[in-house]
Structure 1
Amino acid sequence: MTNEMLVKPADADWPMYRRTYNGWGHSPLKQITTENVAKLKPAWMMSTGYSEGHEAPPTVVNGIMFTATAGNQILAIKADTGEILWRYKRELPADMLGSHPTNRGVALLGDKVFWMSRDSVLVALDAKSGAEAWTVPVQDYRQGYYANLAPLIVEDKVVVGTSGGERGIRGYIVAFDTETGKETWRTFIVPEPGQPGSETWPQPGDEHADAWKTGGGSSWITGQYDPESKLIYWGTGNGGPWMGDQRPGDNLYLTSVVALAADTGEIKGHFQYHPNDSFDWDEVAAPILVDLKRDGNSVPGLVHASRSGVLWMLERTDDGPIKFIKGTPYVHETWIKSMDPQTGRVEYNEGTKPGTGVVGEFCPSFWGGKDWPPIAYNPDLNYVFIPANENMCTTMQGGSVIDYRAGASYTLGTQGNRSDLYIVDGADHIGEVQAWDLNTGEKVWTHTFESQNWGPLLSTAGGLVFGGGTNDSKFHAYDAKTGDVLWEMKLNSGVIGVPSSFEAGGKQYVAVQAGWGIDAASMQTRLSAAYPDRFKPSATVPTGGVIWVFELAE
């Protein structure tokens, strides 16, 4: 795998998290079409040996599949037969905390496979044997840092971020040399005093002057890369603690997209989706890179379906600054009082923003209109597809002020806190898959589910959109033009994995990991407690990780 192959992948391959640097999640393969997808059947399936949430895409190059699973392991597999070539598993420290026990994939370059172990250690493996080439600690897990994202290869660097925004970390994005593992740059999402953006945090002498030290800003989903401008685009997470009145100011660069210089990591531009985040709205999913219309001209764009429920259209520039084009709610929202037509800055409706001892009631819920599951884009239709959760809201209140303790929860406080999930009165569904036409900026179709939807999406040149995410454990194929379900199959477990498509031996395959858990299961638990007549307990959704690979029947 070379840098040139990453910039322009072979049609048959799926070599990185979303296949291409622009993040489209689109396969140019079109052997499987709207006309024949009803003949899709399992080619092979394999148990991973673990039952927690499985979220990584099956990554495939030259007929070899590399995929990460729950259980802190990587598998190398013959992609057309399911034969295991090697298995690598890294044991976790005995004192490692257990939150979000998942992994979202690997990266490939040369003869190496790159992967983040959950204890915040970057691992480089020999692609043929699975033997360790090198490992490097990225951060001390005892301080609340952990990792579960797929790395991003940018020329001779492997770039990663961190989880732990719920534990009072100070988030960062960091690059390492792919050959040696030597750190080349590290950019903190929360600036220290004197750095650009620090003026948006409490100043020296203020009551909360040290808030930047525990300010959050995790970066736990893989970014995108523009090889022409040599800029990396990365989404950033929520603040720590959750209540923004304990860290007054806009709090850059939380809940933003940042543009980073690939050679130095310097922040060259940013756009903040909502200032002084108090809603737990991580905006870690990086926007896709796609051309957009602005003032009658085509401009390099960024498109992001935010956790706060807004479909953002932004303009990216060669030197870094990011300009606002348009923001359109894609689910029911109550928090926006106004949006500046020039800058996109939002003002909050009164009573929606929670605080310390202050109730806020807002829609969408703290899980958002869309959480981490990625959108997909079809360049032939110029449609973007969103896995959404509609009609869900939250009543939240921060409790007593939190005393920071390394590695401990740093979210709502203790005495007097609340976080209630509820459904809009009269709503008959939650989950949706939406299609938006980027030519017009309008929604063209919606497919609904009574269940919530946590299903990452895959677009293909065969006119299809694939995704799971519902509590009935089904994996679906939609008509990209109409949203009609053309094929579906009930799998062993709920499907919250990122789907991919590849070709081997002249045949197109669709692959996905099934394995219910993590926030999808947590949402099910909350819904069943609040609405027992409508939602069964999460335990009724089967667990168990299985890699599924589908082909057309002969």
Structure 2
Amino acid sequence: MIKTLSAALLGSVLVPALAAAAPLKTYSTVTQERLSNPEPENWLMAKGNYAGWSYTPLDQVNAGNVKSLRPVWSYSTGVTSGHEAPPIVNNGVMYVATPYNQVIAMDAKTGESVWRYKRDFPEGFSAFHYTNRGVALWGDKVYVAGLDCRLVALDAKTGKVAWEAEVCDWTQGAYITSAPVAVNGKIMIGPSGGEFGVRGFLKAFDAETGKEDWTFWAVPAPGQPGSETWPKEGRWKDAWKIGGGTMWMPGNYDAKNGVLYWGVGNGSPWLGDQRPGDNLYVASVVALNPADGTIKSHFQYHWNDSWDWAAMNAPTLIELDRDGKKVPAMISAQRNGYLYRLGRTDGGQISFLDARPFVKNTVFSSVDPKTGRPTYNQAGVPGTGRAGTYCPSVWGGKDWPYESFNPKTGMLYVPFNDNHCMTYEGKVQERVPGQWSAGVDITDIKLLIDKDVKYIGGIQAIDVNTNKEVWRDTYAKSWMWGSILSTATDLIFTGGTSDRMFRAYDAKSGKELWSFKTNSGIISPPISYAIDGKQYIAVVSGWGVDSALVQGIMADEHGWEKDIPQGGTVWVFAVDEERAPEKRAEAGSSTR
């Protein structure tokens, strides 16, 4: 994926590490039972539950009172750049990770600061962007992965460092933006860095000691299962060593059957002809045993990835209605522009059910209905010394933001981008550790947008049982960079647009019901929690990274607004009881 270039020019950014002297007096220990069955009033992990639903069972905020939502508090994070981490809430305490290796603990009811942690960057460190996608909770600790490849365990009460562990080597171009995932006393995390020739992996660490437990390599070494899909001889025989497949988004977990599902990123370099073969497990979902990291099965969305169509988001775990029975399945709107439904067994075996395009894809000429393997239109495959033009572009039909599944409506809500294409010609780039080596010069990559296009960004609501679209909303002058939260009261909340709006929609019809303009654009996932019986909706506003880069391109070439304000702010909303419809009705009747 193309990253913003401005941050790379900053060089080493040193930030003092600190923890405020206002520790919590009590803390609710996070256990496996709580993570497997999270309480509705809490938001204990990035997507709310292990299945990846981004859904809240709370029902106080509804279509009748959503127009009375008002900010109850806000908190400035003190930094700019793209804020992509959701708030994490455990019994009244909120933890927010921000760009530049920072975690802030706050009182989730009042917004008062509890403690703040910042980590110094090592001398000489630089990255394309400085974002972070969230923390994990286990026991009495908060876990955050630093850009400089360190996994850090913080005391949840004080913010003091309990232990640190090295995950990867930042001098080789690896860095970490993902939220960790906690399962059975293990903290699992993988790196970014495919464009720097990093060979992807997932590691597990002991939650109490920080000791490394296991490593699963996304690109197998010679002799390992899957290695036969990589070149064994000739010019590209060592392609596996720098093959990409970085695992830079948190996975999902089937807690009932003990199966971990993780998404695997793009191939490196981008040109598939520099690594002939299918290239497992690039652009795949893998099913792993969280106890030891062994692979159970996989499904590859597209072979020999040549488009930077990373499959970094694991499929959402659902059940399909089949003849009155509930059948375990998974569903995912992938970067390549296709919506996939996959089967899953108790033992973690993945099967292909079906796939269809949810945005324009000009590369797949067909998809095998039995295996899901695509056949390619060669004009859309860039190569070494050969230009290729393809849709969707590297940002895909859906980039990293989370889709949401609502078990009450039976719909998947997908933040999508359509009508954008890309062209580039590849070349051989010698890999220099820590430097861009995607096989294409950034300046030679061209984003193509038809000047007459009516929209790019939007939301699609899809019935998971029929795989058909129920409704959509589109944005005439914005891409969509926001994750979606759905609720038990048939609402969805999302940001993601360049107009800085936070919106609520009717989840069944797609009608917009409420909006609020924040200080900046929103690319962080919304969440919901409750304290003392009151429901809150929270989101972090903070435009940057790819959203800012693409906005600049659209401004220069298509006249869109360019300077979207930056700066991170946590926004927390609740229904203003005095302005709610029922209160207004009572007030009206008493004055007659």
TM-score by length of 2: 0.91
The CA deviation at 1:425 is 5.9
The correspondence for 1:429, drawn from 447, 455, 459, is 455
1:237 maps to amino acid:
G
Q: Does 1:526 align with 2:549?
A: no
Displacement of 1:426 after TM fit? Answer: 3.3
Tell whether 2:442 aligns with 1:442. no
Q: Which of 364, 370, 385 lines up with 2:398 in the alignment?
A: 370
Q: What secondary structure is seen at the aligned counterpart in 1 of 2:461?
A: strand
Note if contact 2:455-2:475 (Cα within 8 Å) is conserved in structure 1: yes
Identity %: 49
Q: What is the deviation of 1:294?
A: 6.1
Residue identity opposite 2:109 in structure 1: D
In the other structure, the counterpart of 1:501 is 528
Determine the structure 2 residue equivalent to 1:108. 137
CA separation in 2, counterparts of 1:418 and 1:272? 29
SS at match of 1:525: helix
Counterpart Cα distance in 2 of 1:80 and 1:320: 40
Q: Which residue of 1 aligns with 2:164?
A: 135
AA in 1 matched with 2:430: D
Q: Which of 251, 259, 269 is the matching residue for 1:241?
A: 269
Q: Does 1:177 align with 2:206?
A: yes
- After superposition, the C-alpha distances for 1:406-444 in whole angstroms (9 at most, x for unaligned) are 1110113349x7321122463211111110011211000
Q: How far apart, CA to CA, are the structure 2 residues paired with 1:35 and 1:414?
A: 52
In structure 1, what residue type is equivalent to 2:524? G
Q: Which residue number in structure 1 is paired with residue 3 of structure 2?
A: none
| Counterpart position of 2:179 | 150
CA distance in 2, matches of 1:363, 1:332: 6
- 8 Å CA contact retained: 2:311, 2:335: yes
The answer to whether structure 1 residue 550 and structure 2 residue 573 are counterparts is: yes
**1:106-144 superposed Cα distances (whole Å, 9 cap, x missing partner):** 111111101101101000011011111101111111011
| 1:481 has 2:504 as partner | no
Quick one: distance in 1 between partners of 2:100 and 2:73? 21
1:383 to 383, 398, 411: 411
The one-letter code of the counterpart of 1:285 is: N
1:121 to 126, 150, 157: 150
1:37 aligns with 2:66: yes
Map 1:332-351; keep pairs closer than 5 Å. 332-351=360-379
- Give, as a single letter, the amino acid of the residue that structure 2 aligns with 1:119: D
- Contact map agreement 1:422 1:530 (CA 8 A) in 2: no
Post-superposition offset of 1:506 = 1.1
Q: Name the counterpart of 1:470.
A: 497
Aligned with residue 190 of structure 2, among 161, 175, 184: 161
CA contact (8 A) 2:150 2:164 kept: yes
**In 2 relative to 1, CA 37–368 (structure 1 residues): closer, same or farther, beyond 3 Å?**
same
Deviations 1:494-522 (A, max 9, x none): 00011110001211000010000001111
Question: For the Cα contact (< 8 Å) 2:424–2:440, is it kept in 1?
Answer: no
Aligned counterpart, 1:317: 345
Post-superposition Cα deviations, 1:36-61, rounded to whole Å, max 9, x if no partner, equal: 10000101001000011001011001
Gaps of 5+ in 2: 1-29, 578-592
**CA RMSD across the alignment:** 1.3
| Letter paired with 2:240 | W
Residue in 1 that maps onto 2:230: 201
Match runs of 1:201-220 below 5 Å: 201-203=230-232, 205-220=233-248
Which has more radius of gyration? 2
* Counterpart contact for 1:421–1:527, Cα < 8 Å: no
How far residue 460 of structure 1 moved from its aligned partner, in angstroms, is: 0.8
Deviation, 1:317, is: 1.6
One-letter amino acid of the structure 1 residue matched with residue 574 of structure 2: E
Name the CA distance, whole Å, in 2 between partners of 1:160 and 1:413. Answer: 28
**d(CA) in 1 for partners of 2:435, 2:284:** 25
Which of 247, 254, 258 is the matching residue for 1:230?
258
Q: Structure 1, residues 165-192: CA drift from partner, whole Å, max 9, x if none?
A: 1100010001001011111100110000
Distance 1:100 1:286 in 2: 23
- 2-side partners of 1:325 and 1:194: how far apart? 30
* Distance of aligned partners of 1:294 and 1:311 in 2 relative to their CA distance in 1, 3 Å threshold: farther
Partner amino acid for 1:170?
A: R
Q: Secondary structure at the match of 1:351?
A: helix
Q: 1:510 aligns with which of 529, 537, 543?
A: 537
Q: Matches of 2:221 and 2:472 in 1, distance apart?
A: 44
Amino acid at match of 1:268: K
Equivalent residue pairs, number = 547
| Over 6 Å off, 4+ runs | none
Q: 1:364 to 1:414 in 2, by over 3 A?
A: closer
- In the other structure, the counterpart of 1:59 is 88
SS of alignment partner, residue 195 of structure 2 = helix
Counterpart residue type for residue 377 of structure 1: F
Letter in 1 for 2:520: S
Contact 1:393 1:424 in 2 (8 A): no
2:11 paired residue number: none
Task: Report 1:531-542 matches (<5 A).
Answer: 531-532=558-559, 535-537=560-562, 540-542=563-565
SS of alignment partner, residue 453 of structure 1: coil
Structure 2 Cα separation of the partners of residues 510 and 129 of structure 1: 26
CA separation of 1:377 and 1:464: change in aligned 2, threshold 3 A: same
Matched residue SS, 2:379:
coil
Report the Cα offset of residue 155 of structure 1.
Answer: 0.6
CA contact (8 A) 2:451 2:558 kept: no
Q: Whole-Å Cα distance in 2 between the matches of residues 145 and 311 of structure 1?
A: 30
Structure 1 regions of 5+ residues with no counterpart? none
Partners of 2:340 and 2:87 in 1: CA distance: 29
Secondary structure class of the residue paired with 1:142: helix
Report the alpha carbon displacement of residue 337 of structure 1 after superposing the two structures with TM: 0.8
Distance 1:314 1:293 in 2: 14
Deviations 1:335-359 (A, max 9, x none): 1111111100001113011111111
Q: For residue 202 of structure 2, give the secondary structure of its aligned residue in structure 1.
A: strand
C-alpha separation between the residues in 1 aligned to 2:323 and 2:230? 35
Tell me the amino acid that sits aligned with residue 454 of structure 2: D
State the Cα distance separating 1:297 from its structure 2 match: 5.5
Q: Secondary structure at the match of 2:331?
A: strand
